[in-house]
C-alpha cells in the first residue's frame, strides 16, 4: 500500500511539473525525466491506467527510453492516435506489433507506410503472405515495396496488376527492370504498348543505361513511351542515344506533334551540330519546336544549324515564323528578312513590308518605318512606333539602336502611350 501511494505521489508530482509548460518544453522535460527517474516503469504503468493525455505521456517516455514493453502496451491502446504513434515507434525499434490481421485498415496502412519508408525487408517478408491471404492482392501490393528483393521477384508477376510500379524504383530497381524486360521480350510488338503504358514511368526513373537499353530494344516504332520530361535525365547520361531515339524515322509524325521540354533541350544542345541536324530537320514544319531547339543551343551555332535543317527545302517562298526569327543570329535574321521582303506577295501589302522591315539592321529598319511614323493615321503611327521599338531591341545596342539613340528613345516613350497589338509574321492583316 505504501508503494502504491508513493507511485501515485510521483505521478502527481510529474503531472504537476509538466502542466504549466508549453508543449515543446513539456515534451523535452518529460524525456529528461524518463531517462533519469528510477521509478519510471511504475509511474508509466500508473499513467497508462488514466486518460488519453496521461497515456500519451507514458508512450513518449517509453519511446525516449526504448522501453519495448511500454511501446507494445501503447500499441494496444484504445485511443487511435496513441495506438498509431505506438505502431510507428514499434516498427522503428523492431518491436513486435502482434497479429496485423486484428488491426484496422487505417492502422494496417500506417504499418505498410512505415515499413516502406524505413525499408525493413525482414518484417515485411514475414507479413506479406498473411496480408495477401487475409486481405487480397491490392493490400499485399502496397506492402510489396517494403519486402526484400527475393520476395519482390517471386510475387511481382502476381501482384503487378495491383501495384504502381514507380513504388519499386527506390528499393527494387533490379527486380523491376528484370520483370519489365521479361514481359517485353515475351510480348508481340502489338502488345508492348500496353506494357509500356504500365511501366514507362517507373522504367524512366531507373538506371539510365538500362532504361535506354529497354527503349532501344522494345520501344514502340511510332513513338516513345512515358512523359517527355522524364527523358531529360536519360539525355544527361547519354544525349546521343536519346537523340537517335527521337529521330527514328517511324517517330517523325509523333515528334512533330510534340515540343521537347526545356530540360531535355538543354541536355541535347551539348551535342555536335552533326548530331543535332536530324532532330532539327524533323522540326522544319513545327516552328515552335524548331525555335525552342535553336534557342537552346549557343547563338554562334544557330546559323549553321538553321541552314542545315533547311538544306533539303526550297526556301525561295518560305516565310519563317516570328518565334524563329526572334532566335536567329542577327546576320541570318537580316538575310531572311531581306529575302522575304523581296517576295511579291509581301511587297503588295504595306503592313507586311513594315512588319518585315523591323527585322532588318537598325539603320534600314528605322528608315523603312519613317513613313509610318509620320502618318496622319494614329493607329498606323502607333503600329510603326511599336515596330521601331522592336527593331531597336533586336539591334542590342545599349544606346538605343545605332548611333546616339535619338530615334529609339522617343519611339519607346510614344509606343508606351500607343500600344495596339503588333502583328506577327504569318498573321492576317
Q: What is the pLDDT of residues 207-237, one digit of tens each?
A: 999 999 999 999 999 999 999 999 999 999 9
* Mean pLDDT for all residues in the chain: 90
Q: pLDDT at residue 34 above 90?
A: yes
User: Which pLDDT score is estimated for 7?
Assistant: 57
The whole-number pLDDT of residue 95 equals 84
pLDDT for the residue numbered 405: 46
pLDDT tens, residue by residue, 365-388 = 999 999 999 999 999 999 999 999
- pLDDT of residue 406 exceeding 50, the answer is no
Confidence of residue 421 (pLDDT cuts 50, 70, 90): very low
pLDDT confidence bin for 6, thresholds 50/70/90: low
- Interatomic CA distance for residues 385 and 369, integer angstroms: 8
Q: Which residue has the cell 516502406?
A: 116
pLDDT of residue 228: 96
Report pLDDT for 4.
47
Burial track 268-284 (b if 16+ CB lie within 10 A, e otherwise): bbebeeeebbbbbbbbe
More confident residue, 223 or 102: 223
Q: Which residue has the higher pLDDT, 69 or 95?
A: 69
19-30 burial, b for 16+ CB within 10 Å, e for fewer? eeeeeeebbeeb
Instruction: Give the other-Cβ count within 10 Å of 328's Cβ.
Output: 22
Residue 413 is predicted with a pLDDT of 53
Which grid coordinates are listed for 1? 500500500
- Kindly report, residue by residue over 281-304, the tens digit of the pLDDT: 999 889 999 999 999 999 999 999
Contact 96, 69 (CB under 8 A): no
Confidence of residue 422 (pLDDT cuts 50, 70, 90): very low
The average pLDDT across 400-413 equals 48
Nearest to 337 by CA among 361, 313, 314: 361
Predicted TM-score (pTM) of the model is: 0.78
The answer, yes or no, to whether residue 398 has pLDDT greater than 70, is: no
SS3 34: helix
Q: Tell me the C-alpha distance between 115 and 118, whole Å.
A: 5
pLDDT of residue 419: 45
pLDDT band of residue 399 (cuts 50, 70, 90) is low
pLDDT at 229 (0 to 100): 95
Residue 90's Cβ-side half-sphere holds a number of Cα atoms within 13 Å equal to 26
Do 30 and 18 meet the contact criterion of CB atoms below 8 Å apart? yes
User: Would you say residue 1 has pLDDT above 80?
Assistant: no
pLDDT of residue 2 exceeding 50: no
Taking 80 as the threshold, does the pLDDT of residue 3 lie above it? no
| pLDDT confidence of residue 403 | 44
pLDDT on residue 428: 43
Question: Residue 86's closest CA among 97, 102, 100, 75?
Answer: 75
Q: What is the pLDDT of residue 425?
A: 56
* Residue 326 grid cell: 526572334
Q: From CA 268, how far away is CA 276, in angstroms rounded?
A: 8
Mean pLDDT across 274-287: 93
In this predicted model, what pLDDT tens digit does every residue of 129-172 receive, in sequence order? 999 999 999 999 999 999 999 999 999 999 999 999 999 999 99
Q: Is the pLDDT of residue 96 over 90?
A: no
Proportion of the chain above pLDDT 70, given as a percent: 91
Cα 294 to Cα 66, 313, 319: the distances in Å are: 61, 18, 17
Amino acid at each position: 500500500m505504501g508503494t502504491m501511494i508513493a507511485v501515485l505521489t510521483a505521478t502527481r508530482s510529474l503531472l504537476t511539473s509538466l502542466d504549466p509548460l508549453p508543449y515543446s518544453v513539456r515534451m523535452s522535460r518529460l524525456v529528461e525525466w524518463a531517462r533519469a527517474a528510477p521509478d519510471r516503469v511504475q509511474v508509466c504503468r500508473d499513467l497508462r491506467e488514466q486518460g488519453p493525455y496521461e497515456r500519451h505521456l507514458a508512450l513518449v517516455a517509453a519511446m525516449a527510453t526504448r522501453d519495448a514493453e511500454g511501446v507494445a502496451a501503447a500499441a494496444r491502446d484504445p485511443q487511435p492516435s496513441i495506438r498509431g504513434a505506438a505502431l510507428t515507434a514499434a516498427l522503428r525499434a523492431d518491436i513486435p506489433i502482434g497479429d496485423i490481421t486484428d488491426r484496422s485498415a487505417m492502422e494496417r496502412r500506417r504499418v505498410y507506410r512505415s515499413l516502406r519508408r524505413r525499408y525493413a525487408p525482414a518484417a515485411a517478408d514475414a507479413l506479406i503472405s498473411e496480408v495477401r491471404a487475409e486481405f487480397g492482392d491490392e493490400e499485399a501490393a502496397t506492402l510489396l515495396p517494403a519486402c526484400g528483393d527475393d520476395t519482390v521477384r517471386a510475387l511481382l508477376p502476381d501482384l503487378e496488376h495491383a501495384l504502381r510500379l514507380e513504388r519499386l524504383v527506390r528499393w527494387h530497381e533490379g527486380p523491376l527492370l528484370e520483370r519489365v524486360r521479361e514481359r517485353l521480350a515475351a510480348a508481340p510488338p502489338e502488345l508492348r504498348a500496353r506494357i509500356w503504358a504500365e511501366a514507362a514511368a517507373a522504367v524512366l526513373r531507373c538506371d539510365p543505361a538500362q532504361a535506354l537499353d529497354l527503349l532501344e530494344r522494345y520501344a514502340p516504332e511510332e513513338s516513345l513511351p512515358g512523359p517527355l520530361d522524364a527523358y531529360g535525365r536519360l539525355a544527361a547520361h547519354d544525349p546521343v542515344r536519346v537523340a537517335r531515339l527521337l529521330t527514328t524515322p517511324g517517330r517523325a509524325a509523333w515528334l512533330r506533334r510534340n515540343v521537347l521540354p526545356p530540360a531535355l533541350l538543354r541536355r541535347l544542345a551539348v551535342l555536335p551540330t552533326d548530331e543535332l541536324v536530324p532532330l532539327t530537320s524533323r522540326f522544319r514544319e513545327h516552328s515552335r519546336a524548331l525555335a525552342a531547339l535553336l534557342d537552346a543551343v549557343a547563338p554562334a551555332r544557330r546559323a549553321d544549324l538553321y541552314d542545315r535543317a533547311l538544306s533539303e527545302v526550297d526556301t525561295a517562298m518560305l516565310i519563317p515564323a516570328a518565334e524563329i526569327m526572334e532566335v536567329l543570329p542577327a546576320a541570318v535574321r537580316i538575310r531572311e528578312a531581306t529575302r522575304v521582303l523581296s517576295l511579291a506577295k509581301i511587297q503588295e501589302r504595306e503592313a507586311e513590308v513594315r512588319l518585315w522591315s523591323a527585322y532588318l539592321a537598325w539603320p534600314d529598319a528605322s528608315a523603312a518605318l519613317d513613313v509610318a511614323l509620320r502618318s496622319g493615321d494614329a493607329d498606323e503611327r502607333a503600329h510603326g512606333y511599336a515596330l521601331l521599338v522592336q527593331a531597336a531591341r533586336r539591334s542590342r545596342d545599349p544606346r538605343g539602336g545605332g548611333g546616339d539613340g535619338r530615334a529609339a528613345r522617343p519611339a519607346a516613350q510614344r509606343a508606351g502611350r500607343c500600344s495596339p497589338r503588333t502583328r506577327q509574321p504569318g498573321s492576317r492583316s
